[in-house]
Structure 1
Amino acid sequence: MTRGAGRDSLWRDPRFVRCWASSAVSQFGDRVSEVAVPLIAIGVLDASAGQVAWLTALAWAPNLLALLLGAWVDGRAHKRRLLVVTDLVRAVVLLSLPLAYLWGALTLGQLYAVALLTGLAGVVAGCAWMPLFARLVPSSSYVDANSKFSAARSASFIAGPAAGGGLVQALGAPVAVIADAVSFLVSALLLNRIAVDEPAPAARTGAALPALLRDAREGLAFVVRQPVLRAALGCSTTVNFFTFLAGTGMVVLFADRELGLSPGAIGLTLGIGAGGSLVGALTAPRVSRRIGVGRSITIGAVLFPAPFALAAIAGGPTWAAAGLLGAAYFLVGLGVMWFDVNLNSLQAVVTPDALRSRVVGAYSTVNYGIRPLGALAGGALATAFGLRATLVTVAVGGVLSVLWLLPSPIPGIRSLDTGPWHGTAEPPSRTGESGSPGHPARTD
């Protein structure tokens, strides 16, 4: 790709197209699993709300190791190869579910193990993605590239849940998971065909473990010192904790047991609601140009969690319950994309090359590490006070995340060309090698 090329050139770069296609097909498979895996627990293994919460918690628990994994990935020369390997690992692990089901040996323990292993592979992939993209996307196209990846992700939320619900209804939840395993295989094939020049990392000095710990500490220290990253991390962590009180598994449980929706209706409702994510992803560049990158992030931080209060009052006839739940998720998707697309691009600009995987690791340790705690707290809250009260708590607590942004430099940032970059180790470059879009695959 020509450095500094305009955003129209992204579709003409075959390497970018393969990366985008890899992410798109993988995201579609994930949406199937997000419906199928909780329904394996609920329908096949008769799991309780607490057990469903543990399933979500274990999927995100490996992010607690992201600080060290990011430092380890930074020391590896071939980030693309790591992405291919992690895709293959997740495909094999997921295929164990339908095999165990066909042999009559499927257990909740195996479901937990699959969630943990796929989550671990996903963390490694997330740390490897950012530096790879620094070699593929010019900095002038960050917001546009993030918009394209987020649009694919949003489209997967429209088609994926509906397809997942249909596959579960037709074939059963364990067999439906095969679709996600196949998506990982396709993703690995596409990534393997990308030719990219990956420079060798700087050699570490000293013993391996102390050097790894030192590198991990440097990544965390940079995030804490940098004013944009510090405020973004506080906001993201807060909103993630509260929204994970009602993660996908808990929402499926709410739709199944409180609203009485069928698997097909659940998938269709969530798919229609996800149209908000597609609209948000496609409009994020325009919104940021009109009102500024910082204000787009701030508005998204409020609009993301607030509609959970709307979902809490869903009820009545099936069509009304499904419609209100879908409307709430439409607004959630709109908010999260305005928040993510712009924030991911801003983070990419303020992060220097040498620290990319370490910054991702440090950020993920806190931001994603809070998610299993939120899921467990959500299970306890739902057990004690009910699913509707949990959804209201999500809305109120999540909106408070904006308090991290208000005193920070973020709301005042109009564009990525200007801003308070004095806190970074290097100024934002226009060369296409100073940053990357946020990881568009399965860490978000």
Structure 2
Amino acid sequence: MPPLSRLVMSARFMYAADQIALVAVPIVALLVFDASAGVIGLLVACQSSALLIGSIPFGLVVDHFQLRTILIASTLLALAGFSAAALALAAGGIAVFGLAIATAGLGIVLYELATFSVLPKLVDARGLGPANARVSLPRALASFLVPLALSLLLSAETATSAFCIAAAGAFAALMVVRTMPTVSRARSPEQPLPGRLAMGANLVLRHGLLRPISLCAIFWNLAFAVLLVVLVPVIVEVYGGHPSLFAGAMAAFGIAAISGIWVAGRIAPATPPRVILIAGPASSAVASVLLLAVPARSPELVLYPAFFLLGFGPSMWLVVQNTVRQLVTPEDMLGRVNAVIQTAIYGVRPLGALLGGAIAGTWSPEAGLWAVATLFGLSFLAAFLSGLRKVMDYDAMKALPRT
């Protein structure tokens, strides 16, 4: 089996395990531990904290050590976390459960950073787009299929089994990545850790392509976090619909994400990168306008297409911008650059949630929709008014100016 196919297979197991934990944690906290809303929030925070805590140090690790070794270490870390979570559920230890899911989350973060650093060593520039799509598709599929399965199967009695299955997924990923070949690459120069991290941050801030990619993603994630907070009140108070429409909207988003990644993997090599780099955030801006025009009668007729746009265009953009980052970043800095961008992106999600709650509480849920439209518009402008419009060809990308 080629190394890329092995990496894709490991991604299927790892991302399925990750989605099981993401969906199951708040549910089993209530069913097994009878946790209050505050405790559930704390457990979810333990899970999501891995992105903020682990990204920067793991980015340094990825740039310093052999990538095959890091992939193995990431699956071992996830396996330990999911296994400990299952044991904690069986024993009724909520504190150990919180620590265990945080550990598993760190394994997923390390795996993802290593994966996107190893891809450029497995394929050439023209093949990076399809390769990124192949590795990203398992996450999109898992985000749609796992919640459906758990909604039917998860209970207090099956909670431990769910995390055993997650642990089995991590173990299967471990068995796959241990067969990966050793990847040779340039080593980053020896220097103090703060200096190495500053180099990555400085490249992101000064680079004519990495900077707008970061700004576009930050505004988009801020907007989406606000939208998730205000959408249910908007559905009830503005659209006059049932709260269950939220689930339908998220299902449309999930299907669109799967479709967008699948399409991007097939058209990316033959499509000028700038087309998707601009069209992706543009589709979100159009979707936000649709959300402002949802009719009170039969709101799903506009709500679902709007969420399909939110999932389809940005998922294509995600594949292409990953390729851009991999091509324009020196290989000995990929881990740090990806870590800096990932930290910035996921760091704004809690801020977006707080902003959405503040706007809806101070003014109205509808005011939150206007904030969403503004932020999606800024995301589009960050891409459109930048060097991303000039990215015509993957092979010539490194020749573009960095500032």
TM-score bracket for this pair, using the shorter chain length: 0.7 to 0.9
What is aligned with 1:10?
A: none
The one-letter code of the counterpart of 2:62 is V
Offset of 1:194 from its aligned partner? 1.0
Counterpart in the other structure of 2:316: 338
Supply the distance in 2 between the matched residues of 1:381 and 1:330 (Cα, whole angstroms). Answer: 25
Q: Does residue 243 in structure 1 map to residue 243 in structure 2?
A: no
Structure 1 segments unaligned to the other structure (5+ residues): 1-12, 206-210, 426-444
Following the alignment from structure 2 to structure 1, what is the Cα–Cα distance between the partners of residues 157 and 291?
29
Q: Residue 139 and residue 219 in structure 1: after superposition, are their counterparts in 2 closer, same or farther (change >3 A)?
A: same
* Equivalent residues of 2:285, 2:377 under 8 A apart: yes
Specify the code of the residue in structure 2 equivalent to 1:242.
A
8 Å CA contact retained: 1:293, 1:415: yes
Distance 2:148 2:25 in 1: 14
Instruction: Looking at secondary structure, tell me which structure has more helix per residue.
Output: 2
Q: 2:9 aligns with which of 21, 46, 50?
A: 21
Distance 1:145 1:194 in 2: 16
Structure 2 stretches of 5 or more lacking a match?
236-240
Letter in 2 for 1:180: A
Aligned-partner Cα distance in 2 for 1:67–1:35: 25
Given that 2:71 and 2:115 are in contact with CA atoms closer than 8 Å, whether structure 1 keeps it comes out as yes
Letter in 2 for 1:279: S
Deviations 1:97-118 (A, max 9, x none): 3433333333xx5565445433
Structure 1 counterpart of 2:319, one-letter code: V
- Look up the match of 2:262: 282
Asked if the contact 1:32–1:177 (Cα under 8 Å) also holds between the matched residues in 2, the reply is yes
1:21 Cα shift?
Answer: 0.6
Question: Shift of the alpha carbon at 1:69?
Answer: 3.3
- 1:167 alignment partner in structure 2: 153
- Is it true that 1:73 corresponds to 2:62 in the alignment? yes
Moved more, 342-351 or 46-55: 46-55
Q: TM-score, normalised by structure 1?
A: 0.74
Between the aligned partners of 1:391 and 1:299, the Cα distance in structure 2 is 21
**2:238 match:** none
Partner of 1:178: 164
- Number of aligned residue pairs: give it: 398
TM-score by length of 2: 0.81
1:232 matched to 2:210? The reply is no
Provide the C-alpha distance between the structure 1 equivalents of 2:61 and 2:27, rounded to a whole number of angstroms: 35
User: Per-residue deviation at 1:408?
Assistant: 0.7
Residues in 1 aligned to 2:96 and 2:225: alpha-carbon distance in whole angstroms: 23
Rounded to whole Å, the distance in 1 between the matches of 2:109 and 2:64 is 16
Residue matched to 2:71 = 83
Which residue does the alignment assign to 2:329?
Answer: 351
Aligned ranges 1:303-318 → 2 under 5 Å: 303-304=283-284, 307=287
Matched, 1:416 2:402: no
Change (3 A) 1:226 1:281: same
Q: How does 1:45-444 map to 2 (within 5 A)?
A: 45=34, 47-48=36-37, 52=41, 55-56=44-45, 59-60=48-49, 62-63=51-52, 66-76=55-65, 78-106=66-94, 112-168=98-154, 171-173=157-159, 175-199=161-185, 201-202=187-188, 204-205=190-191, 211-245=192-226, 259=242, 261=244, 270-271=250-251, 273-285=253-265, 288=268, 292-304=272-284, 307=287, 327-378=305-356, 393-419=371-397, 421-424=399-402
For 2:230 and 2:44, locate their aligned partners in 1 and report how far apart those are by CA, in whole Å. Answer: 10
The 1:300–1:157 alpha-carbon spacing in structure 2 relative to 1, beyond 3 Å, is same
Question: Once the two structures are superposed, what CA deviation does each residue of 1:156-199 show, in whole Å capped at 9, x if it has no partner?
Answer: 23322211222225955564333322211111111111122334
User: How many angstroms does 1:16 deviate by?
Assistant: 1.1
SS of the equivalent of 2:122 reads coil
8 Å contact 2:285–2:380 — kept in the other structure? no
Amino acid at match of 1:344: N
| Distance of aligned partners of 1:134 and 1:294 in 2 relative to their CA distance in 1, 3 Å threshold | same
What amino acid does structure 2 have at the position aligned with 1:299? A
- Counterpart residue identity of residue 374, structure 1: G
Amino acid at match of 1:398: F
One-letter identity of the residue aligned with 1:346: V
Question: Contact conserved, 2:284 with 2:313, CA < 8 A, in 1?
Answer: yes
**Counterparts of 1:311 and 1:168, CA distance in 2:** 33
Amino acid in the other structure paired with 2:167: A
Higher relative contact order structure (alpha carbons within 8 Å, sequence separation ≥ 6): 1
